[in-house]
Amino acid sequence: MPGKDALYQRIKTDIQRQGTLLYILVDPDKVSLAELPGFTAEASEAGVDGFLVGGSLSLRAQFEETLQSIKVATDNPVVIFPGGIHHLSPNADGLLLLSIISGRNPDHLIGQHVLAAPLIKELDIEPISTGYVLVESNGVSTTEFLSNSKPIPRSKPEIAAAHAMAAEMLGMKFVYLEAGSGAPQTVPDEMVKMVSTLTDVPLIVGGGIRTPEEVAQKAQHGADIVVIGNHFENPENREQLRTFADAAHTASANVPSSV
């Protein structure tokens, strides 16, 4: 039986040892279960450090199968990225317990958490409390639409930083800056830098990242974990896995970690 906070401590250790980590977000609605074990093994071999599993919608009943397919193919962390309480399973290493702190919708600040807490306890899933900050990206993301949560303006990094500082003071263990799945623009580098500078918890950055250069920029500006989703859903892009992982690890080599 893993010890208390085993996943959280492992991720922090990985950041301290490796620098910026590269995680891949796997959406059960968008994957082929037949191809998933091979892709997972290929990604791990190429230097990908972990996997998030989930999404804002759940149109197909294969969440459990997706988790199991990834777990058998990698020893790297497999973490639930929940779109709701239907995304809970003991077959992952843990979950990001997301509070959408950029919005003011109480359902996504505490309401859903109250419903999920007994199940998380019963299933013995390790939760990592995460302050989730939606960032404007010239379009309405699925998360924004479904959660009825207004994003932080791109031109206001100080607002994002204030939210992140509040999350840290409230005891949240991670901060996640999110531009949205397939976003036309990534989280601004200035915002990443300000949040990283003013907080001491691990910083996750995702949404709209499509090139190794963008990965390197997020790492250089203080991201501890960079998340790639849509880009690697296209099999033609998977030959770039090692290039993306190397970009994260190399770019952060001389950047002080927030951990």
- Which pLDDT tens digit goes with each residue over 172-223? 999 999 999 889 999 999 999 999 999 999 999 999 999 999 999 999 999 9
CA distance 205 to 216: 12
Do 168 and 199 form a contact (C-beta atoms < 8 A)? yes
* pLDDT score for 244: 98
Share of the chain above pLDDT 90, in %: 84
CATH 3.20.20.390 fits 6-251, yes or no: yes
* pLDDT score for 6: 97
* pLDDT score for 65: 93
Band the pLDDT of 1: cuts 50, 70, 90. very low
Q: Is 73 helix (H, G, I), strand (E, B) or coil?
A: coil
End-to-end CA distance of the chain: 26
**pTM, to two decimals:** 0.95
Structure tokens at 118: 């007994």
CA distance 158 to 221: 15
Do 164 and 131 form a contact (C-beta atoms < 8 A)? yes
Whether the per-residue pLDDT at 254 is higher than 60: the answer is no
Q: What stretches of 76-184 adopt beta strand conformation (E)?
A: 78-80, 94-100, 127-134, 174-178
Residues 6+ apart with CB under 8 A from 111: none
* pLDDT score for 61: 75
- pLDDT (tens digit, 9 = 90+) per residue, 32-61? 999 999 999 999 999 999 999 998 776 667
